[in-house]
Structure 1
Amino acid sequence: MITVSTDKMKLNVPFIQHFLKDIYWAAGRTIEEVQKTIDSSICFGIYLDHVQIGFARVITDYVVFAYVMDVFITEEHRGNGYSSILIHEMMQEPQLQEVKIWRLATKDAHFLYQKFGFKELAHPERMMEKIKI
């Protein structure tokens, strides 16, 4: 049975950190840093028979803006539609229903997010970033 929960007490933080530490967008993130990101976000754990198989988090002000981050399903569970279930539950989360602008960055999962209305930036020239190295 698949379930999705926003209960942070159910999250397996070592599991999340172990997965993220080797992924291009979060390489080297320590368990302390992972915990800090969890504490500062709405988090979604996805569970197969009560065992965590994926994760996602949203940084938001609950009205104007939400940024989706750290979305993953473990490799052995990919291809079963679990990422779609996870994103669907995220988009249906009652706390996030007022949010007007959703953003995310992806290198290779455009097909997933397009199913939920995400598209390329209409005006990328207006976007800026600052990256601390």
Structure 2
Amino acid sequence: MTDTNHALPDGYELSTDPARIDAGRVHHWLSTDAYWALGRPRAKQDAAIAGSLNFGVYETASGDQVAYARVVTDRATFAWLCDVYVDRSVRGTGLGTALAAGIRDHLAAHGLRRILLATGDAHGVYEKIGFKGLQNPDMWMVLGEQ
């Protein structure tokens, strides 16, 4: 059974307000420290932010952004969770799991058929909130990078 009690630790808040996204910080995180986005140009990252539903985690006291994720979705049937990043200074605090759970809960209102993601190293984080491996991976195909 999936544990749905993954609230943000005290002192942090989750927001979908695009005006709060620190695009420079997000670009730095992803382009220098995220294996899937190393070297991503700033213009490409800004375009990705503009075309996505964005989630930020912020320190309540300072307002500083400490985590980010984005979702590509039609808000009706499908969503792709991507670019999930937690600043190294706050890893291990439960923010990553709480962020993913907050996104899952936010998307639940849309009645989506599926939410997908790809990860090379964080399966345990996502399994805690209900994600599981593809039942029929042979049905899925990709065009482009693998």
TM over 0.5, shorter chain: yes
Equivalent runs, 1:61-72 vs 2, <5 Å: 61-72=74-85
CA distance in 2, matches of 1:34, 1:80: 26
Q: Which runs of 5+ in 1 are unaligned?
A: none
- Does 2:70 match 1:45? no
What residue number does 2:46 align with?
35
Report how far residue 94 of structure 1 moved: 5.6
Aligned-CA RMSD value = 1.6
What residue number does 1:108 align with?
121
CA distance in 1, matches of 2:120, 2:108: 27
CA distance in 1, matches of 2:85, 2:22: 14
- The letter for the 2-side match of 1:87 is A
- The letter for the 2-side match of 1:98 is G
Equivalent residue of 1:21, what SS? Answer: helix
What residue number does 1:128 align with?
141
Cα distance, 1:96–1:31 mapped onto 2, change above 3 Å: farther
CA distance in 1, matches of 2:109, 2:50: 17
Structure 2 counterpart of 1:17, from 6, 13, 27: 27
Structure 2 counterpart of 1:3, from 10, 13, 18: 13
Report how far residue 97 of structure 1 moved: 3.1
**More relative contact order, 1 or 2 (CA 8 Å, 6+ apart):** 2
Report how far residue 86 of structure 1 moved: 0.8
CA distance in 2, matches of 1:95, 1:44: 15
Equivalent residue of 2:68, what SS? Answer: strand
- Does 2:100 match 1:90? no
Cα distance, 1:87–1:30 mapped onto 2, change above 3 Å: same
Identical aligned pairs, as a percentage? Answer: 32
Q: Give the TM-score taking structure 1 as reference length.
A: 0.94
Report how far residue 91 of structure 1 moved: 1.1
CA distance in 2, matches of 1:48, 1:128: 39
Q: Which runs of 5+ in 2 are unaligned?
A: 1-10
- The letter for the 1-side match of 2:100 is I
Instruction: Report the number of matched residues.
Output: 133
